[in-house]
Chain A
Amino acid sequence: SQQGEEDPQALSIQEGENATMNCSYKTSINNLQWYRQNSGRGLVHLILIRSNEREKHSGRLRVTLDTSKKSSSLLITASRAADTASYFCATDAAQGGKLIFGQGTELSVKP
């Protein structure tokens, strides 16, 4: 199945450091999205990157997409304790109009 896989599964850093999370997928996509989930809460959309885009920025977030390698990365710069959450990538399926989510990267930012 076309499932995104995040790497690493868990990441622990100090406040102020950058955090990089990677996502790989299996088949061609129209777009790839990143979501954040705080503990005990629903997912919140962060950024969407289309297959014809290579890089996108939103505040302290930078997303890259390499369709030749079927991979994406999410970089959070100057991390804060409030960035502690799970981060998921989601890819659209070839048909059916559904999003396939990976299992997420659990980020812990220590003050």
Chain B
Amino acid sequence: DTAVSQTPKYLVTQMGNDKSIKCEQNLGHDTMYWYKQDSKKFLKIMFSYNNKELIINETVPNRFSPKSPDKAHLNLHINSLELGDSAVYFCASSPRHGTDTQYFGPGTRLTVL
């Protein structure tokens, strides 16, 4: 019954590795987002997709590649992980693209060693 789900919840990996985080929403929303929350709780948008189309790409290094196989899923693949990538990554969705209420997943805590 979880509206927005993410896997895994925790991810610990070595520098240089490649990893993926998956997100699914069962709300029937058109738009999905990825956010990064740093250690000071500052939450910054990374990407948004509307009906599988990339809408927002916020000056994120191209090591980060989002993929949306359908409008209910938005995955985040990160290549060549760096120490500075350690953060909590949140997926969110909203009914349409814009500034509707957003529904957040539980987050994925990524730790790069």
Residues of A within 8 A of B (CB): 30-31, 33, 35, 37, 40-45, 48, 86, 88, 92, 96-101, 103-104, 106
Q: Nearest residue in B to A92 (C-beta to C-beta)?
A: B99
* B43 and A48 form a contact (CB under 8 A): no
Instruction: Provide the residues of chain B in CB contact with A44, threshold 8 Å.
Output: 104
* B43 and A101 form a contact (CB under 8 A): yes
Does any Cβ of A come within 8 Å of B19's Cβ? no
Contact among A40, A99, A100, A103 with B102 in the assembled complex (CB-CB below 8 Å): A99
Q: Least Cβ distance of B42 to chain A in Å?
A: 5
* B45 and A45 form a contact (CB under 8 A): no
Q: Least Cβ distance of B20 to chain A in Å?
A: 19
The SS class assigned to the A binding surface is strand
- Contacts A42-B4, A42-B90, A98-B56 given; does A30 touch B99 at CB 8 Å: yes
Contact among B43, B55, B99 with A43 in the assembled complex (CB-CB below 8 Å): B43
* B43 and A45 form a contact (CB under 8 A): no
Q: Least Cβ distance of B103 to chain A in Å?
A: 7
- Contacts A30-B99, A31-B99, A98-B48 given; does A42 touch B106 at CB 8 Å: yes
Instruction: Provide the residues of chain A in CB contact with B58, threshold 8 Å.
Output: 98
Supply 23 A–B pairs (Cβ within 8 Å), ascending by A: A31-B99, A33-B101, A40-B107, A42-B106, A42-B107, A43-B90, A45-B101, A45-B102, A45-B103, A88-B43, A92-B98, A96-B56, A97-B48, A97-B55, A97-B98, A98-B45, A99-B99, A99-B102, A100-B45, A101-B44, A103-B41, A103-B42, A104-B41
